[in-house]
């Protein structure tokens, strides 16, 4: 597999927030979010190689029951992802896969953490990735497949209150249950997150969504591998 890093920390986002977890970050992404906080997996992907078996060995050294496979976009390496999840499942791990929900592959997973990308993620129109990103960033069919097949959470990265209308439209079109939707502020510093959290919490209260902080940013800021 192609990957960028493997580390032990706590889950900083979503409904499993605070749980000690081993993160395995794969390389490559089919999207190019302007605010991507892991450009070393997308804009300038690192291409370190590791076998599926060695991945499991590296994960097992931490003696932690929760594994988060993230990216980049893990489902790009579908064959390898299936093999990795199968081995982890055989050993009794709780498996979360974080995905942009544009590619569906059937895998062993306990939680699919989808993060469909809103218009606020678009790179500039003069960027060579703009057309592809805008075309591929939302896949209603894939989102529906995951919702029908797995325990899911649907995290939206929110940059401004104006993003709400796009979220509501997607919820209605795809029939996403409100209780699976989490709103998370866009930002890579604690100060920016604090500036957005008050009005974002209000949006959650008004619409029956869940608010997700970004605890790893609050604790470590932009530091990598935490």
The model's confidence at residue 220, banded by pLDDT at 50, 70 and 90, is confident
**16 upstream amide cis, omega within 30 of 0:** no
Per-residue pLDDT at 58 = 97
- With CA atoms as reference, report the closest residue to 63 among 102, 35, 106, 92: 92
- Identify the three-state secondary structure at position 144: helix
Q: What is the pLDDT of residue 17?
A: 96
Nearest to 219 by CA among 16, 13, 41: 13
Cα 108–113–117 angle (5° rounding)?
A: 130
Tens digit of each residue's pLDDT (9 = 90 or more) over 51-89:
999 999 999 999 999 999 999 999 999 999 999 999 999
Q: Is the pLDDT of residue 224 over 80?
A: no
**What is the C-alpha to C-alpha distance for residues 15 and 215, in angstroms, rounded to an integer?**
12
Q: Coil, helix or strand for 72?
A: coil
Higher pLDDT, 176 or 195: 176
For residue 32, give the nearest of 135, 112, 158, 147 by alpha carbon. 135
Topology adopted by domain 2-220? TIM Barrel (3.20.20)
DSSP code, position 66: E
According to DSSP, residue 110 is labeled S
The pLDDT of residue 219 is above 90: no
Question: Tokens standing for 214?
Answer: 């970004």
Q: How far is CA 130 from the centre of its chain?
A: 20
User: Which segments of 26-120 does DSSP mark as H helices, in order?
Assistant: 52-60, 78-90
- pTM of the predicted model as reported, rounded to 2 decimal places: 0.95
Q: Which pLDDT belongs to residue 110?
A: 98
pLDDT digits (tens, 9 = 90+) for 129-138: 999 999 999 9
The 8-class DSSP code of residue 13 comes to S
If you average pLDDT over residues 12-18, what whole number do you get?
Answer: 96
pLDDT over threshold 80, residue 226: no
């Amino acid at each position: 597999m192609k990957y960028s890093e493997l580390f032990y920390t706590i889950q900083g986002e979503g409904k499993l927030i605070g749980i000690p977890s081993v993160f395995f970050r794969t390389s490559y992404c089919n999207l190019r979010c302007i605010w991507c906080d892991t450009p070393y997996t997308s804009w300038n992907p690192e291409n370190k190689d590791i076998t599926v078996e060695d991945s499991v060995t590296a994960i097992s050294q931490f003696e932690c029951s929760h594994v988060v496979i993230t990216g980049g976009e893990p489902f790009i390496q579908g064959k390898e992802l299936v093999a990795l999840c199968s081995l982890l499942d055989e050993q009794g791990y709780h498996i979360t896969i974080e995905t942009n929900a544009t590619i569906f592959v059937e895998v062993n997973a306990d939680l699919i953490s989808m993060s469909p990308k809103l218009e606020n993620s678009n790179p500039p129109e003069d960027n060579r990735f703009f057309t592809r990103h805008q075309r591929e960033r939302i896949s209603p069919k894939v989102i529906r497949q995951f919702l029908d097949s797995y325990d899911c959470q649907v995290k939206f990265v929110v940059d401004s209150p104006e993003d709400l209308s796009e979220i509501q439209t997607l919820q209605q079109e795809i029939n996403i249950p409100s209780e699976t939707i989490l709103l998370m502020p866009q930002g890579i510093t604690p100060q920016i997150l604090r500036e957005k959290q008050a009005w974002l919490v209000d949006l959650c209260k008004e619409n029956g969504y869940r608010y997700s902080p970004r605890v790893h940013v609050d604790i470590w800021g932009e530091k990598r591998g935490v």
